[in-house]
Amino acid sequence: MSVAGGTAVASVSSAPPEQEEGVTWWYRWLCRLSGVLGAVSCAISGLFNCITIHPLNIAAGVWMIMNAFVLLLCEAPFCCQFIEFANAVAAKVDRLRSWQKAVFYCGMAVVPIVISLTLTTLLGNAIAFATGVLYGLSALGKKGDAISYARIQQQKQQADEEKLTDTLEGEL
């Protein structure tokens, strides 16, 4: 039983994309922490946004509260232990690539601002948007050093020169 359970666990966690991208452990925790803080700020600002008589502000506030729930569900599933599918959703989100998380989180944060452009929606969604930006930066990868960049550029230049000489020889 332990062999079958061990292989099942190994096959589920065999390809986490964050490990392949070379993201450090502290940066992953920074992204998670900003996601939790973004959820808290969305929830508080969403509650304040719902205390009004303007329907668009109420809609933006409800959306912000839903953003807070989704951020907590994705980044800190232990906060949602009362929900049966929380761990399954978190596992699926962990398998997403960083750029996919960035697009998802930034898109979620922009919608309430589009619905109702107020200071509360801007400040409430700022940290959630920053979470998406952090995931987007991790998708870009590490910054290369100047020597390897110069070597790659030189190889590209040589390949371009070879293509140019081949086409010139073909025309003659």
167, part of any domain:
no
Query: Token pair of 92, please?
Result: 């699926």
pLDDT digits (tens, 9 = 90+) for 3-37: 444 444 434 444 444 444 577 888 888 988 999 99
Helix (H, G, I), strand (E, B) or coil at 15: coil
pLDDT digits (tens, 9 = 90+) for 72-101: 888 887 777 778 888 888 888 888 888 898
Containing structural domain, residue 75:
36-146
CA distance linking residue 120 with residue 58, whole number of Å = 12
Instruction: Taking residues 112-140, report their average pLDDT.
Output: 91
- What's the confidence (pLDDT) of residue 11? 40
Give Cα separations from 106 to 10, 29, 71, 116, 125 (angstroms): 32, 18, 11, 16, 9
pLDDT band at 2 (very low <50, low <70, confident <90, very high): very low
66, part of any domain:
yes
pLDDT at 121 over 80: yes
- Whole-model pTM over 0.75: no
| Tally of domains within the chain | 1
- What's the confidence (pLDDT) of residue 170? 66
165, part of any domain:
no
169, part of any domain:
no
1, part of any domain:
no
pLDDT digits (tens, 9 = 90+) for 148-160: 777 888 888 888 7
